[in-house]
């Protein structure tokens, strides 16, 4: 009988009220936080690329090539949607708008869950 009592006591101690619990709202808040920050980083990278296009920099530098690698897939997608406008590239503007709408939409969806 003593061993059964010990097992029951140890089982009760595992269910202590101080053990961490994860609630769906906390998980959704964390997902919203991640999405918001990923989109924010993408927008900063696009802004940096636009600003770097106005000055003469080494395109083979680590930072510049990293920014290019991050932003090129997004900007290329929007460049293919827009008609050619000569020297002007409006894909960063469209990318900013799309990222804003995406962020608002995902946050709204997560808020309703």
pLDDT for res 86: 82
Q: Is the model's pLDDT at 28 over the cut of 80?
A: yes
Helices 24-53, 62-81: crossing angle, 10 deg rounding: 100
pLDDT-based confidence at 67, cuts 50/70/90?
A: very high
SS3 60: coil
Q: Does the residue 3 lie in any domain?
A: no
Q: Is the model's pLDDT at 98 over the cut of 80?
A: yes
pLDDT for res 27: 84
Q: Is the model's pLDDT at 102 over the cut of 80?
A: yes
pLDDT for res 32: 87
Contact indicator for 37, 62 with CB cutoff of 8 Å:
no
- Helix (H) and strand (E) counts in the chain: 4, 0
Q: Does the residue 41 lie in any domain?
A: yes
Q: Angle CA(33)–CA(49)–CA(65) in degrees, nearest 5?
A: 95
Q: Does the residue 106 lie in any domain?
A: yes
Q: Does the residue 12 lie in any domain?
A: no
This prediction's pTM: 0.74
**How many domains is the chain partitioned into structurally?**
1
| Distance between CA atoms of residues 111 and 11, nearest Å | 37
pLDDT-based confidence at 14, cuts 50/70/90?
A: low
Residue 60's domain comprises 23-112
Q: Is the model's pLDDT at 19 over the cut of 80?
A: no
Q: Does the residue 67 lie in any domain?
A: yes
């Amino acid at each position: 009988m003593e061993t059964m009592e010990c097992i029951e006591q140890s089982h009760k101690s595992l269910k202590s009220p101080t053990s961490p619990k994860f609630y769906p709202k906390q998980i959704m808040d964390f997902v919203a936080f991640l999405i918001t920050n990923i989109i924010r980083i993408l927008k900063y990278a696009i802004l940096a690329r636009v600003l770097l296009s106005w000055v003469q920099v080494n395109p083979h530098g680590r930072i510049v090539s990293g920014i290019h690698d991050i932003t090129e897939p997004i900007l290329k997608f929007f460049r293919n949607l827009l008609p050619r406008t000569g020297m002007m590239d409006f894909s960063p503007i469209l990318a900013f708008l799309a990222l804003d709408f995406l962020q608002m939409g995902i946050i709204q969806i997560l808020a309703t869950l």
